[in-house]
Amino acid sequence: MKPISVKLSTPPQSSFKYKEIKLESFEFNWHCHREYEIMLMMKSKGKRFIGDSISHYDDGDLVLVGSNLPHTLYAPAGQMGEGVMHEAVLLQFPNNLAGLQIVDTPELHHLHWLFKTSSRGLRFRGAARAQAAAQIAAMSAMNGFGRFLQLLSILDTLARANEDEVDFLSSIEFERGVAPTQQTRIDQVCTYLNEDYDQRLKLEDAASVANMSITAFSRFFKRSTGKTFIRYVNELRIGHACRLLIESELSVAEICYRVGFNNVSNFNRRFRELHAMSPKQYRHEFIQQR
């Protein structure tokens, strides 16, 4: 099941979309679009699919979905009681919001991290969520220039969230495309791993890409990614497996070998460690909502 790529439209006299949603249900609609998306669930309970992440959401849930990251919600009618509507606020905006290139605008440079990491889908908690939710709710009484400034303030709030107030939803391996090789040392290593994840990856080969000794590379890699080399490679392969489970009809065994595992039992075990379900259950979570 490949995500449907949709082209969004913005209302006249506006550089982004602000929409208050009231629906009996959220139908499963696996899709992606170039625009970034912020969604605040004012009153709703259901299931959230972002990249390879499957999780439940509740009232007050606030997420930022990056450009071209597949996503959808699923919340059937009657989920919260007979006749109770699902309510949410949706913001959708391009990278060059109002013609501003985020990376090239000095006053907005601190937003670069937010835009970059949103490729995994971000869920906000704590004080950052509460402040941003209040800012989003206040937009209903605004229009035009005031609403535009409020969006910048919301992005500023999210960009300044503490580390413990942000959850990454999708694995980094689900991102479509990798960074150019002519970047930082860790980018070069991760590019190498993304390109050859289905091969037999050796620690010494990755260390050679970084032009480091194995011991120094192991410390450097753990410091840079927060994970050991073996764990990162396993998560990388499982991230690609998730996409194949969603978008292809290959068997679990075929997917296991295609992404670089050489043992189905080990593949199932590592998959369950990351997603708390088997690959078959994971695929079923998508299929049953179609």
Six token digits for residue 108:
């907005």
Nearest alpha carbon to residue 51 among 269, 227, 286, 270:
286
pLDDT of residue 65: 96
Q: Please indicate, yes or no, whether the overall pTM of this predicted structure exceeds 0.85.
A: no
- Structure-token match 């289905």, residue found: 198
Q: How far apart are CA 119 and CA 238, in angstroms?
A: 17
pLDDT of residue 184: 61
Q: Measured in whole angstroms, how far is the alpha carbon of residue 232 from the centre of its chain?
A: 17
Q: How far apart are CA 133 and CA 139, in angstroms?
A: 10
Q: Which amino acid is at 98?
A: A
Q: How far apart are CA 289 and CA 275, in angstroms?
A: 18
SS3 113: helix
Q: Which CATH number fits domain 176-287: 3.40.50.150, 1.25.40.20, 1.10.10.60, 1.10.10.1200?
A: 1.10.10.60
Task: Name the residue ranges covered by the structural domains of the chain.
Answer: 4-168, 176-287
pLDDT of residue 130: 97
pLDDT of residue 220: 85
Domain 4-168, architecture per CATH: Sandwich (2.60)
pLDDT of residue 261: 93
pLDDT of residue 132: 98
Question: Tens-digit pLDDT profile for the chain (290 aa)?
Answer: 566 666 666 666 788 999 999 999 888 788 889 899 999 999 998 888 898 888 889 999 999 999 988 888 888 888 777 888 999 999 999 888 777 777 677 878 888 889 989 999 999 999 999 999 999 999 999 988 999 999 999 999 999 999 999 999 987 656 544 443 334 677 678 778 877 888 888 899 899 888 899 999 898 888 777 778 888 888 888 988 988 998 889 999 999 999 999 999 999 999 999 889 999 999 988 776 65
